[in-house]
Amino acid sequence: MIVEARETETIGLQTAPSAPGRRQRVLSGMQPSGNVHLGNYLGAIRNWVAQQEIYDNVFCIVDLHALSLPTTRETLRANIRNLANVLLASGLDPERSVIFVQSDVPEHAELCWLLNSVTQFGELRRMTQFKDKAGSQVEGVSAALFVYPVLQAADILMYDADLVPVGDDQKQHIELTRDIAERFNARYGETFVLPTPDIKPAGARIMALDDPTKKMSKSATSPNTYVALRDDPDTIRRKIRRAVTDSGSEVTAGPDKPALTNLLTIYSLLSGETIAALEARYAGKGYGVFKADLGEVVVDAIGPIQRRLAELEADPDAASRALAAGAERARERARRKMALVRERMGLGFGRS
Ligand code: TYM
């Protein structure tokens, strides 16, 4: 997919190579904050992998974001390594995509600070993810949790991303990113590209297995809520078997059947069959047969990822090499962008 390159005013500095007919740029990120689950895979990773050929991609393991909630050195380090291996095992290719760890490119934290100056307190207070995560503990949560969306805006704006492939829960953060970019551009001159969220109609909100009114989440207290990409086949079968269902016995999707809609969505995305075809196949068969088959579909889909994961874990240098090379490429782009941003804002002693 080709877009017209944006004309950028320059002050002896380029935002990014702006050759006409360049490929659209993609940036997305994932927190190393727990078990990667089917929701992360269907809402994000799978789309990143599928679109690698089409776009100019940057994918970021956002370890600075993971500091917004309490963690430990050991947990964070282990989660970063796990996530790196999971992304590579899922098919992200370091030859075709830039894959790196956020803190390896210190410009992200710097840009976050600069963008804080054009972000309003009220905007951040309205973020639903902040309200959900802070809950009743608003006075005790970290300031990092509050400015979390500004760091996310920095990730996106740093690389002139046109598109941000994410699940539904990130939409509000990307809208805020656009507002921040617009305000910055109005105040300092055209500097940032306004990004568009790339949210697919199916899979953007996979719900918890034990409660279809809540989204599947890494931070859930009960592991029965999600299928982790690392779960062994028996655990996967058991979790699907125990997934809550709706009243009635027909395998159909619809607003009155949130649990079945969720399970049918997972089945459809992993098998490539439409929900209508699945409803027809399971008509009159009952939930038990459907769930047993879905368990096998999930096991078969995750199996190849798990086999590659085992290979990568046997060779820890593979991920380390890939991420070091990715950080090098990301730093190069970030350095150029930040030189422009500092100049636009009048920071430093300057050259003229
Ligand atoms: P995170 O780490 O919570 O989730 C990573 C991606 O997975 C998607 N996702 C889901 N999709 C469908 N169903 C679900 N139940 C589900 N749960 C999670 C998320 O929408 C996301 O796409 N703030 C971001 C990380 C981030 C980022 C960025 C994303 C930091 N900087 C820049 C995009 C661009 C987050 O916490 O994602």
The yes-or-no answer on residue 215 being catalytic is yes
The yes-or-no answer on residue 291 being catalytic is no
By most ligand atoms within 8 Å of CB, the mutation choice from 28, 40, 99 for ligand 1 is 40
CA of 288 to the centre of ligand 1 (A): 32
d(CA 11, CA 280): 62
Atom of ligand 1 nearest to the CA of 170: 20
The answer to whether 18 and 339 are in contact (CB under 8 A) is: no
Q: Looking at residue 8, what is its pLDDT?
A: 33
Name the pairing type of β-strands 163-165 and 97-101: unpaired
d(CA 118, CA 180): 6
Least confident of 10-14, 191-195, 196-200, 309-313: 10-14
d(CA 207, CA 262): 6
Output phi, psi for 198, to 5 deg.
-110, 90
The answer to whether 273 and 267 are in contact (CB under 8 A) is: yes
CA of 166 to the centre of ligand 1 (A): 6
Q: Looking at residue 110, what is its pLDDT?
A: 98
For residue range 53-91, what is the model confidence (pLDDT) as tens digits? 999 999 999 999 999 999 999 999 999 999 999 999 999
The yes-or-no answer on residue 214 being catalytic is no
Determine which one of 131, 171, 200, 215 is catalytic. 215
For residue range 240-285, what is the model confidence (pLDDT) as tens digits? 999 999 999 999 999 999 999 999 999 999 999 999 999 999 999 9
Q: What does the block give as tokens for 20? A: 């006409």
Q: What does the block give as tokens for 208? A: 């918890």
The answer to whether 211 and 225 are in contact (CB under 8 A) is: yes
The percent of residues in the chain predicted with pLDDT above 70, rounded, is 94
Q: What does the block give as tokens for 31? A: 């927190």
Q: Looking at residue 19, what is its pLDDT?
A: 53
Domains of the chain plus CATH, in order, are: 8-204+316-345 (3.40.50.620), 223-313 (1.10.240.10)
Residue indicated by tokens 């991609």: 57
Predicted TM-score (pTM) of the model is 0.93
d(CA 327, CA 315): 20
Residues 6+ apart with CB under 8 A from 133: 69, 141, 145
Atom of ligand 1 nearest to the CA of 65: 30
Residues 6+ apart with CB under 8 A from 124: 130, 146, 147, 149, 150
Q: Looking at residue 20, what is its pLDDT?
A: 63
Q: Looking at residue 57, what is its pLDDT?
A: 97
d(CA 276, CA 170): 29
